């Protein structure tokens, strides 16, 4: 009993010393701290200047231009909320949002594929290096190369590899990128093919951080593979799964390279997206004010969505509670 009291007193004394050290550090004058760390601040200065020049300044200027008529020819003219009204009244905006939800649905169908791929790699350590390389190989290709490669494979003429294969099996061929019913699924498959490897690596890192003693205890209790997966693997991976789901949703609303490189938003605006609309406003119509207004609307939507999503995730998972 006495030893327990002594240990508690020692921990209390250590805690008090730590608090006093923190208070002492907080009472140090700011000027003295700056002089002491001046060299470190000088090393940080180029990075801070680059951040201010390429991140802070564009955000501020974009916010200002969103309230101006700006075409890079005439002097900017303040127009208030006119650009926002113009963007919101454009019927293409609603079409682009609907297309984003379609992209999202097609992206969520195979959402768990990287997770199960990571489980396979984790359970087969002997083949882990080969499988990691094979799964991640598509992610090495630059996006432009990836999309043009698949554009050739989707070619509806005799040069398209997919239609050649279908014809060899005496199956009907399709105009994959020229039909409103197949264009979004075709693009979504390209994104899945190119992004599955990076998602697999994220899940694999999380799987390898699960404490092995949890599985050992379940093994002793006679738990089946399904029970270990349901009661150990999924709860331990829940936060990573929810975060990747958030990134998938946000990525769907920022889709640009596929529609831009493959279809230009066609056919019949069936693959146009909000970010592609920003491009069209700026570089096809020369209306940089409307382009910045739409960018601000998209930024505000994604910001509000991410805050609400993280808040709900924290409430349901306890993330950041401690």
**Residue 231's CATH number:** 1.10.3720.10
Determine phi and psi for 254, rounding to 5 degrees: -115, 15
Instruction: Choose among 239, 257, 250: nearest CA to 194.
Output: 257
Read off the pLDDT band of 97 (50, 70, 90).
very high
pLDDT of residue 275: 94
- Quote the CA–CA distance of 63 and 83 in Å, as a whole number: 12
For the whole model, what pTM was predicted?
0.80
- Quote the CA–CA distance of 82 and 85 in Å, as a whole number: 5
**Assigned domain for 22 exists:** no
Whole domain around residue 299: which residue ranges? 90-317
**Assigned domain for 263 exists:** yes
**Assigned domain for 221 exists:** yes
**Assigned domain for 14 exists:** no
Residue 21 has pLDDT above 70, yes or no: no
Domain count, the chain: 1
Cβ neighbours for 162, distance < 8 A, ≥ 6 positions apart: 153, 154, 176
- Quote the CA–CA distance of 249 and 302 in Å, as a whole number: 9
- Quote the CA–CA distance of 198 and 12 in Å, as a whole number: 46
Residue 99 has pLDDT above 90, yes or no: yes
Q: 47: how many CB neighbours lie within 10 A of its CB?
A: 9
Residue 192 has pLDDT above 90, yes or no: no
Residue 3 has pLDDT above 70, yes or no: no
Residue 195 has pLDDT above 80, yes or no: yes
pLDDT of residue 139: 86
Please give the residue that has the higher pLDDT: either 210 or 32: 210
Read off the pLDDT band of 291 (50, 70, 90).
very high
**Assigned domain for 106 exists:** yes
Cβ neighbours for 114, distance < 8 A, ≥ 6 positions apart: 196, 197, 199, 200, 202, 203
**Assigned domain for 10 exists:** no
Please give the residue that has the higher pLDDT: either 155 or 127: 155
Q: What is the mean pLDDT of residues 273-280?
A: 94
**Assigned domain for 297 exists:** yes
Q: List, in sequence order, every residue forming a beta bridge with 22; answer none if it has no partner.
A: none
**Assigned domain for 197 exists:** yes
Q: What is the mean pLDDT of residues 177-188?
A: 91
Q: 293: how many CB neighbours lie within 10 A of its CB?
A: 28
């Amino acid at each position: 009993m006495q030893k327990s009291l002594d240990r508690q007193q020692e921990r209390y004394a250590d805690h008090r010393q730590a608090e006093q050290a923190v208070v002492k550090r907080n009472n140090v004058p700011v000027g003295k701290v700056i002089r002491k760390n001046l060299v470190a601040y000088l090393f940080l200065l180029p990075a801070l200047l680059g951040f201010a020049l390429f991140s802070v300044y564009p955000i501020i200027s974009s916010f200002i231009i969103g309230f101006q008529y700006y075409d890079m020819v005439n002097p900017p003219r303040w127009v208030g909320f006119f650009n926002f009204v113009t963007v919101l009244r454009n019927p293409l905006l609603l079409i682009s949002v609907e297309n984003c939800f379609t992209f999202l649905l097609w992206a969520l169908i195979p959402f768990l594929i990287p997770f199960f791929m990571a489980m396979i790699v984790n359970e087969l350590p002997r083949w882990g290096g080969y499988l990691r390389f094979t799964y991640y190989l598509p992610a090495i290709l630059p996006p432009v190369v990836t999309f043009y490669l698949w554009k050739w494979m989707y070619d509806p003429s005799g040069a398209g590899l997919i239609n050649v294969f279908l014809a060899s099996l005496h199956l009907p061929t399709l105009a994959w990128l020229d039909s409103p019913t197949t264009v979004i699924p075709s693009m979504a498959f390209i994104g899945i093919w190119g992004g599955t490897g990076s998602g697999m690596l994220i899940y694999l890192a999380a799987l390898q951080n699960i404490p092995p003693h949890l599985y050992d205890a379940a093994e002793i209790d006679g738990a089946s593979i399904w029970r270990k997966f349901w009661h150990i693997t999924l709860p331990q991976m829940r936060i990573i799964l929810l975060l990747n789901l958030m990134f998938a949703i946000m990525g769907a609303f920022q889709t640009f390279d596929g529609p831009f490189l493959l279809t230009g938003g066609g056919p019949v605006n069936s693959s146009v997206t909000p970010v592609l609309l920003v491009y069209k406003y700026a570089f096809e119509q020369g209306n940089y004010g409307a382009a910045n207004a739409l960018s601000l609307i998209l930024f505000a939507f994604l910001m509000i969505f991410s805050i609400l999503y993280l808040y709900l995730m924290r409430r349901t998972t306890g993330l950041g509670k401690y």
